[in-house]
Structure formats: C-alpha cells, structure tokens
Structure 1
Amino acid sequence: MTAMTVNDRPVNFDLDPATPLLWALREAANLTGTKYGCGEGDCGACMVLVDGEALRSCLITLAEVEGRFITTIEGLVRDRSHPVQQAMVAEQAIQCGFCTPGIVMAAAALIRRNADPSEDEIRQAIPNLCRCGVYPRLVAAVQRAGRVARRAERISAAPAPGIDPADAARAVPALDMDEEGPTE
C-alpha cells in the first residue's frame, strides 16, 4: 500500500507502486478533474500540486509521492473562490475547459510563490497546452489573480456549481404576473 495525503485526507492506494499518480487519482480515487491528455508530460492537463509544487501526474509514480501532500483541482478550494479560478472566469480565459484544471493548478503554484509574476514568468511557469488558444487571456488572468492574491483587487465569487453563470449575473426585477403577462 502506498500512503499519502490527497486533498487534506489520508489515502492508501492498494496499487502497484509504479502506477502513475494520474491513474490512481482518476480511477481509484474518482478525482476526475485531473485530466489525461498526452501521457507524455507535454500537455499539462494532468497537473496537480505535490507538496505545493505543480507536477504532471502522468510522469510521477505512486512510489515517488508516498508520504507527500497531493492537491487536485477538487481540493484547491470547494467554492471556486481561489484567485486563479476567479480571474480565469473574469478574464474569459476558459474555452472548452479540458485543459483548465491543469492550468489552474500550475497558476496556483505560481501565485503562491510569486503574487506579482511577469509575463515571461507566467509563460515559463504554465507550460500547459491549450488547443483553444486562450494564452493572451491566460496571461491577463494570472496577472489579475496575482493582484487579487496581493489584495490589490477584488473579484466577486463565481456562482456555485449547478447555477448557470448567465442566471447568476442577471438582475431581474420581480414582476407581478397575470394571464396577459407582467403588470406594474
């Protein structure tokens, strides 16, 4: 058995120690926010935090993470209030969403180390591939997340899971209704 802490909970995996962490998280722990992209470490879709450092979970084995602290996208924050998550939504830096969890994890590790990163530092710290091409907005989002982390800016929380963002953003006045429609 391989023991570690995943999202602040002790976990023992009864799997071959040579199993990539990615598959233990997805298949044994049902933490499917960590995505399988390439299996070669090139795309970054499987990025998780290991002791606070962004690492590609397809390239590290259970044996290599024994006794360590793992954070997946599910464990970053429960309510989507992390500055990176907030800034990604605010800057519209999400398209299809497949690569987003890995990008968020890499950006969260960067912001923890350096809350005022330059564009070059962002590009070096976030090597993730995005087929949708959100890179210009991604840089803006990470810089904005840094401002939020430094308390130089505030972003309202994203809507809770299951609420359509368009509905959450709409301010619709209450109207009295009769058979013919709204009345004043």
Structure 2
Amino acid sequence: MTKAPSVSGEGLSVVGRQTGRVKMEELALWVQVAAVLAALVAAVAAVWVGARDRRNAQRIADEDRRHAQRIAEDDRRAALRQSRLMFELDAALRLAANQRRGGSTDKDERARMGTEAAVLTGFLGPELLPHLTSELNPETDEELRRYMADPGTEEWKRRATEAHLAMLRVVRDLRAETEA
C-alpha cells in the first residue's frame, strides 16, 4: 500500500525550508550589521586616538619650544655677562695703566689723564672702585643735573657732565640687563 502524498505535509516541508532560508538571510544581515557597527566603532576609536596623539604631539612641541626659548635666553644672558665682563676688564686695565703713570708734568696730559680716570671710574662703578668713585665721581645723578643747570657752570663742563650722565645711564641699563 502506497500512501498518497499529503498536500499539507509537502507544504510544510516547503514552508520549513523557506523559514530556514529566511533565518539564514536574517542571520547574514545581522552579521553584516555587526560588521558595519564594528567598523564604525573602530573608525571612531581611530579618530579619537588620532586626535589625542595630535594633542599630545602639540603639547610636546610646545614644551620643547619653551625649553629651547629658555636655553636661548640663558645663552643670551651669558653672552651679555661675558661682554660686560670684557668691557669692564678693558676699562680696569686702562684705568690701572692711567693710575700707574703717576701723573704728568704736562698740564694738558694731566687733564686728559684725569678725565679718562673719572670716566673709567664712573663706568666701573662703586662696587669695584669704592675709593676712586668717591674721590673722582662723588656726585649723584641729581647733583650732576643741578650742576648742569647752574648758570655759573661753563658750557664745556655742562656737555661733559651730560655725557657722564648718559654713560652712567647706559652702564645701569647694561648691568640691569645682564643681571636679569
């Protein structure tokens, strides 16, 4: 006896196969969605890491630039101090030679030597030459300005005093710059 095929049975097996196929397609779609989401998360993570790297690189570059500027500033100050010391050494040598001569019998030469000694002493200042400074340059800036304003002061002495004041200001500025 052969059994006749059942319509409902055949239909069920076709529906079952189609349902399996739909589930496989749905699963494939979910896998694709998961892959896209994973790629999206990876892209966002890469952008975030890249941004952090750029910020860190910028911070490091800024620190390096500030460090290089500090080194350059320190080098500039050291060069200024070295220059100042060389000028002071030259002035001290010239003053020592001037003082060692012990004067001159020629009136003009004596005046030149005295002027040179006063200028060099003013340049070197009271820290290095307290005795000579008080002897050759006893005036403060204010006293020198009053001396210049005095109608009884000869014109050549006014010009010399003005030049002396300018020299003192330059020396103060130079020392302030090199000691900063």
The structure in which a higher percent of residues are helix is 2
TM-score, with structure 1 as normaliser: 0.20
TM-score, with structure 2 as normaliser: 0.20
Larger Rg: 2
